[in-house]
Structures are given as C-alpha cells and as structure tokens.
C-alpha cells in the first residue's frame, strides 16, 4: 500500500489531478509539477527513501531488492509518470515534466533530508508505532507498544532490516517457533512493568530454540552462560538445566534486565548492549567516552562487531513487527491466550510415556520442558510439567486431584504391606506418617495416608 505523510493512494488508476490534490491540498503547483520522488511514493507499493550515506537511494519493490541511483530514479520517474497518466481515467491533459525539473526537485528533496538527518539524534527519536487495528493476534501486543524509543531510519538499523527482508522465510519460521512461549514471556514482562518489546530478545539470542547452546556455552531461549545463570538462581544438574526452562530462565532474564535498567539509568539501548556484551564491557566504553568528552549513548560507543550489530538487529526486527504488512512479511499468527499450563507429576516418568498418556506430540512436550536434560521428571519430588492447555484440561478430567491426606480404616486381615500397595506408598512412609513402631495394626484402626 503506497503511503505519503500518512495518506494512502488506494486506487492506482485514480485521476492524476485528484491524486496531486491529495498530496498538495489546494496549493497544487503550476502545471501539476511535483517532485518525482513524491509521485513515485504514490505510485509504487513498498517504495521509500532510505538515508544511506553518502547519498540517498531508492529501493523499489523490497521483495526483489532493486536499488537505483538518483539519475536512474529521475529517468524512471518520467516513465512512471507517463504510465500513470496514460492509465488515468481523467480526460485532462497530461503533466509535462522535463528531466531537469525532476532532477532539480529530487536534488532539493535530498538536500532537505540531508539537513534533517544531520540534526537528528538517532537514539532519542521515535517514529513508531502507528495506530492500527488489532488483527495479528499476540504480535499486536508488541507492534502497538511504546516502551522503547528509537529512530527506525538510522543507517545501521536499515542495513539490518534489509538483511531480514531479504530472507522472509526466516522470519516466518522464527515467529512460528515463538508460539509456545510468547504469551508467557509477554505476560511475565507486563507483570514486572517492563517493555513487552523485550519479548523479541529470544529471537535475536536463540531464534526461539529452547535447546539452543552457543559456542561459548550460553543456553536456552535467553542464552545464559553458566556463571550468569547461577548468579540469577538458575539450577543446573545432570538431569536439569534451568537455563533451558522457559519459566525459570524468563524470571532470571527479567531480574537481569531490571538490574541493568537501574545500572544504566533507564537507557534501554545500553541495557540491551550490556545484556549481550556484559555490563562491565559497556561501562568501560561509557567511561572511555566520558574521559574523551564524547557522547555516551549506544551509537557513540566503540563496540565489538557482535554487540555493534546486536542493537540494530533487535531494532530492525522491532520495526518490521511494527509494520509487517508494509514490508510484505507474514508473521505466524499467535493467539493472545496462554499456550501452556502445568500439571503435577509425582513419580519419575519419561517424557515419551507422558506424551503418549497425554496424547501430546513428543517433540512439543520436549520443547516445553527443555530443562529436563534426560527427558525424565525428577524421582524424589513433584514436578510441574508444562503441557498444552487443552491437554491439561483432558488430563485433569481423567485424573481429579486427591486430597493431601486420605484416611483408611483397617479391616480384618489387612496388613501394612497391602495398604501401602493400594495407595502406592512405601511401608516405611506409612509407618512414619502414623507414628507406628512396628508392622502390627488392628481392625478398626484409622491410618492417615499421605499424598504419594
């Protein structure tokens, strides 16, 4: 959909004078002469100026990725204007534009944009988000958010955005991978009054692969290295890794982000840089710039390549999420509702057995419970297994919860062994719970059966 200053040209065959009136109002220039770039923006879908130093260029039809020079743009404008006016239903005479007129208009527009870009402070400018109807499920929670302020036209952001747009299949796959986890993460961020846009971090960190492990040993959706994970309370053992548990790792990530937010005085770009590179590394760069009288915002720091690209990649992704239709990107539709809940598993059981019992795909159950390294629930304690909401409802219907303690009245001939087998507990546990010194029991005696 072609746009200019918030106006939309809905009909590509709309009479030319009517379209120019939309652009200039009552102040229509003599002979209908308008800057070629503006006519182009009303004519082509996905047509926009992008400030890329040292000159501006126009990228036409983003899915194809054609880039033309300013001179080619001028010549192309003549052709486009001709086609536009020939197809017009208007009987009025066509506009006559010379190449010199078009080049002069484009040069003037370029000069104005150059002056404007020099005055801009990329880290403090916001153009997002636009007001739009909610039609894309859970993604609308992010696309309409205003927690992070940035200039989406910063050259480094544009560069990363072009990379994403050159591979739309990747964005479709990653957005689909986010489905089981996105609602939980957004909900957790909201509860802590953090920007919901941070739910995109796992896209950058792990591509929403819950079992992802980097070369440096970082693991899980949020890519915690062992030391940082331990500092924020993530348990690790041979059978369990909290870094790969969506519940525990999300809480740890929130704690870390809140700490960094306080440390960097609310500057979210520095916070995200520190999340990637470590707070000490970013603090050193900030101190270095201060010592040399330089600005200390993210864009002014000298950072290693990974961190230098980390923020532009995140913001490029965020800008696409804000305007997926404008970029012809199809995000996987995710309902604005919980995907998973938990059920109590009291015995050590394999995920394979549980998947069969719950009628849930084993791969999905494994993804939801990636923290279980051996794909077994713990042997000595109750475990809250994550399962799809529908599967949990069926399971609870078939397995109603038992009271914490059940009483049993001993009948003639019963033994502790028989009773313990009936309630699936050990004789030792039964004796301990009822303060019995021996295995002797009598008919009519009431025993307390603990929860197994």
Q: Where are the beta strands (DSSP E) in 368-439?
A: 383-388, 405-409
Q: Determine whether 205 is an active site residue.
A: yes
Cis peptide before 373 (omega within 30 of 0): no
Question: How crowded is the C-beta side of 45, counted as CA atoms within 13 Å?
Answer: 10
State how far the Cα of 216 lies from the Cα of 222, in Å rounded to an integer: 14
The neighbouring-strand residues paired with 344 are: 384
Q: In 192-225, where does DSSP find H-type helix?
A: 201-206
d(CA 358, CA 413): 38
CA dihedral of 355, 361, 364, 369, whole degrees rounded to 10: 0
DSSP for 376-399, please give it: B--SSS-EEEEEEHHHHHHHHHHS
**Whether the bond into 262 is cis, omega within 30 of 0:** no
Tokens of 360: 């849930």
Q: Tokens in use for 171?
A: 């964005």
Name which of 311, 60, 40, 297 is nearest 161 in CA terms.
311
In angstroms, the first-to-last Cα distance of the chain is 62
Q: What are the phi and psi torsion angles at 447 (to 5°)?
A: -110, 140
DSSP characters over 143-168: HT--SS---TT-HHHHHHHHHHHT-H
User: Which structure tokens are listed for 394?
Assistant: 């069926």
Q: How many CB atoms lie within 10 A of CB 356?
A: 12
Q: What is the Cα–Cα distance from 35 to 46, expressed in whole angstroms? A: 18
The active-site residue, picked from 179, 205, 305, 451, is 205
Tokens of 146: 């205003």
Task: Please report which residue ranges of 207-350 form alpha helices under DSSP H.
Answer: 226-231, 246-263, 268-277, 279-291, 305-322
Rg (CA), the chain: 31
Nearest to 182 by CA among 335, 361, 396: 335
Cα dihedral across residues 300, 305, 309, 310: positive or negative? negative
Question: Could you list the active site residues?
Answer: 205
């Amino acid at each position: 959909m072609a746009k200019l200053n918030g106006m939309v040209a809905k009909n590509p065959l709309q009479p030319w004078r009517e379209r120019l009136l939309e652009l200039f109002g009552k102040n229509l220039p003599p002979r209908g002469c308008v800057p070629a770039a503006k006519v182009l923006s009303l004519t082509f879908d996905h047509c926009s100026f992008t400030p890329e130093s040292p000159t501006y260029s126009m990228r036409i039809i983003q899915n194809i990725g054609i880039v033309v020079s300013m001179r080619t743009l001028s010549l192309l404008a003549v052709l486009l204007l001709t086609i536009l006016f020939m197809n017009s239903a208007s009987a009025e005479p066509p506009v006559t534009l010379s190449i010199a007129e078009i080049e002069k208009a484009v040069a003037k527009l370029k000069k104005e944009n150059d002056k404007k870009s020099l005055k801009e402070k990329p880290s403090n400018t916001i153009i997002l988000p636009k007001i739009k109807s909610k039609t894309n499920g859970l993604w609308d929670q992010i696309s309409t958010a205003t927690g992070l302020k940035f200039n989406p036209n910063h050259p480094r952001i544009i560069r990363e955005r072009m990379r994403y747009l050159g591979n739309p299949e990747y964005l479709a796959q990653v957005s689909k991978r986010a489905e089981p986890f996105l609602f939980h993460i957004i909900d957790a961020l909201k509860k802590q009054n953090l920007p919901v846009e941070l739910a995109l971090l796992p896209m950058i960190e792990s591509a929403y692969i819950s079992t992802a492990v980097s070369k440096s040993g970082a693991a899980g959706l949020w890519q915690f290295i062992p030391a940082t994970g331990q500092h924020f309370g993530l348990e690790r053992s041979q059978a369990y890794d909290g870094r790969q548990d969506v519940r525990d790792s999300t809480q740890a990530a929130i704690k870390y982000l809140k700490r960094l937010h306080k440390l960097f005085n609310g500057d979210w770009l520095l916070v995200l840089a520190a999340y990637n590179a470590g707070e000490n590394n970013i603090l050193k760069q900030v101190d270095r710039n201060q010592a040399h009288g330089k600005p200390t915002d993210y864009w002014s720091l000298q950072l290693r390549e990974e961190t230098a690209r980390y923020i532009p990649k995140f913001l490029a992704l965020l800008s696409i999420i804000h305007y997926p239709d404008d970029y012809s990107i199809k995000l996987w539709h995710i309902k604005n509702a919980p995907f998973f809940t938990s059920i109590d598993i009291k015995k050590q059981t394999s995920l394979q057995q549980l998947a069969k019992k719950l009628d849930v795909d084993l791969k999905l159950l494994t993804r939801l419970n990636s923290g279980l390294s051996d794909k077994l629930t713990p042997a000595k304690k109750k475990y809250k297994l994550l399962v799809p909401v529908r599967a949990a409802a069926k399971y609870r219907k078939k397995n109603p919860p038992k009271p914490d303690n059940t009483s049993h009245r001993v009948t003639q001939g019963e033994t502790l062994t028989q009773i313990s087998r009936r309630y699936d507990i050990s004789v030792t546990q039964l004796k301990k719970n009822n303060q019995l010194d021996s295995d002797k029991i009598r008919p009519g005696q009431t025993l307390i059966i603990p929860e197994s």
